Amino acid sequence: MSDLPRKAVTRTAKLAALPLGFAGRATWGLGRRIGGKSAEIVARELQQRTAEQLFKVLGELKGGAMKFGQAMSVFESALPEELAGPYRAALTKLQDAAPPMPTRTVHTVLEERLGERWRELFLSFEDKPAAAASIGQVHRAVWHDGREVAVKVQYPGAGEALLSDLSQLGRFARLLGPLIPGMDIKPLIAELRDRVTEELDYELEAQAQREHAATFADDPDVLVPDVVHQSDQVLVTEWIDGIPLAEVIADGAPDQRDRAGQLLARFLFSGPARTRLLHADPHPGNFRLLPPEDGGEGWRLGVLDFGTVDRLPGGLPQTIGDCLRMTLEGKAEEVYALLCEEGFVKESIDLDPDAVLDYLLPIIEPAQVEEFTFTRAWMRSQAARIADVRSPAHQLGKQLNLPPSYLLIHRVTLSTIGVLCQLNATVRLRDELESWVPGFLPSAAAGAPAAPAAEAQA
């Protein structure tokens, strides 16, 4: 394929074809029904064609369009099953696949950023990319000291493309909304746009990855590859093998699914407590399931791509743990007061505390039991409950507010739960909350150390 299209008019035209394509296929479907085909068969064919076009356009454009597709892909668990099938295959492809950059472009970037003699830095370099993502692609190589490395090369013009795509996607967010019932697409696009500058800065990414690699260096469960070299638009890190999480989702054994789910939940909650950073891009393409090391007891989780992180100097806010604990204890008045204090309920809004408790309890069901099996059916039931305009949950949800400081935490948590549902994993979520989330245990709420179990595991 050609280089990443940089001209705004070119990319805008391709993105504009998406809603136009939706309308065109609807007309085509009407004709098929008039011709005698059943509504169910026509709807299935429409969904398949729409999914194929979605993947084709977003994958070719990379940039913000593909970033949006990746963010959407972790929510496919929320789709009704009759819609999920056609979209699932197309959206999950976006997690770690896209048409590659031409070799000549890769070599040009490496020459510009690493110098004319860039090849001398490597004992070998594979021109064929091992993976391609939203703003760059990864090549496998051997560093001059013999280490196997991953070389991430940023697409030329990626920054301009990201901003252009996300602005355009924001204009027809309402048309994309039905893909994920119960979720407002516009804030997701706005939040992705806010993270563009950070993700393009490989120096920031290298810093975040180094901090994680150092913290998890001796961890028996989580492996973060260290940074080998970094320059503008090129990032070299240690290479890790393993089973991509997308493959575990597709056909992993039950023990692999459960182990991957447990470690994913552990990394989500332990990361902020240990590094004061939140890995904020939890789609399956960024994780690998690694076999046990010699003498090891279980599969490990390999974590990639630290381009998007949330900096949390105090770790996860204690409000989260306090709210979870008091909700489980049925303290409606206390929960409501805390939500009002933190800005989740605006001053102009007056809600019934018991109704708020009824709204929250089904969502935190996984924290009520020792272990919980995350399924697509459970995720769909939650999405349907909140999306149904006739339900009390929908009416109450519309009146709640999400403070900006919680936006990324909320999206990452929701995305991780989406992946757990894709995995169909049985997870001891409560164990991770007790170990890592300040305020979840009554002792932590009373002023004792936030997570005594965390220190033992660190």
Domain ranges of the chain: 8-97+170-180, 103-158+197-238, 242-458
Catalytic positions are: 281
Q: What is the mean pLDDT of residues 290-313?
A: 87
**In this predicted model, which residue has the larger pLDDT, 232 or 90?**
232
Residue entry with tokens 């800065």:
201
- Please return the burial class of 120, using the count of CB atoms within 10 Å of its CB with bins 0-12, 13-18 and 19+: exposed
What does the chain come to in residues?
458
Q: What is the mean pLDDT of residues 110-138?
A: 91
pTM of the entire structure? 0.76
Three-state SS letters, the chain: CCCCCCCHHHHHHHHHHHHHHHHHHHHHHHHHHHCCCCHHHHHHHHHHHHHHHHHHHHHHHCHHHHHHHHHHHCCHHHCCHHHHHHHHHHHHHCCCCCCCCCHHHHHHHHHHHHCCCHHHHEEEECCCCCEECCCEEEEEEEECCCCEEEEEEECCCHHHHHHHHHHHHHHCHHHHHHHCCCCCHHHHHHHHHHCHHHHHCHHHHHHHHHHHHHHCCCCCCEECCCEEEEECCEEEEECCCCEEHHHHHHHCCHHHHHHHHHHHHHHHHHHHHHHCEEECCCCHHHEEEECCCCCCCCCEEEECCCCCEEECCCCCCHHHHHHHHHHHCCCHHHHHHHHHHHCCCCCCCCCCHHHHHHHHCCCCHHHCCCCEECCHHHHHHHHHHHHCCCCHHHHHHCCCCCCHHHHHHHHHHHHHHHHHHHHCCEECHHHHHHHHCCCCCHHHHCCCCCCHHHHHHC
Contact by Cβ (8 Å): 348, 400: no
**In this predicted model, which residue has the larger pLDDT, 230 or 450?**
230
Confidence (pLDDT) at 91: 53
- Token digits of residue 389: 């305009």
Confidence (pLDDT) at 404: 75
Confidence (pLDDT) at 411: 82
Q: Could you tell me which residues come within 8 angstroms of residue 104 by beta carbon, excluding any fewer than 6 positions away?
A: none
Provide the 10 A C-beta neighbour count for residue 197: 12
AA identity, residue 286: N
pLDDT at 206 over 60: yes
* CATH architecture under which domain 103-158+197-238 falls: 2-Layer Sandwich (3.30)
From CA 355, how far away is CA 396, in angstroms rounded?
8
Residue entry with tokens 């306090």:
322
Confidence (pLDDT) at 85: 56
pLDDT at 364 over 80: yes
Q: Which of 55-64, 129-138, 167-176, 406-415 has the highest mean pLDDT?
A: 406-415
pLDDT at 416 over 60: yes
Confidence (pLDDT) at 454: 42
Q: What is the mean pLDDT of residues 354-375?
A: 95
* φ and ψ of 231, to 5 deg: -145, 175
Average pLDDT for the chain = 79
pLDDT bracket for residue 347 (50, 70, 90): confident
Confidence (pLDDT) at 421: 94
CA distances (Å), origin 208, targets 212, 284, 360, 405? 6, 19, 33, 19
From CA 188, how far away is CA 74, in angstroms rounded?
13
Q: What is the mean pLDDT of residues 254-279?
A: 96
pLDDT at 406 over 60: yes
pLDDT at 252 over 50: yes
Where is average pLDDT lowest: 17-26, 296-305, 307-316, 398-407?
17-26
pLDDT bracket for residue 66 (50, 70, 90): low
Q: How many alpha carbons fall within 13 Å on the CB side of residue 85?
A: 8
Where is average pLDDT lowest: 17-26, 38-47, 417-426?
17-26
From CA 263, how far away is CA 317, in angstroms rounded?
21
Q: What is the mean pLDDT of residues 369-377?
A: 95
Contact by Cβ (8 Å): 289, 302: yes
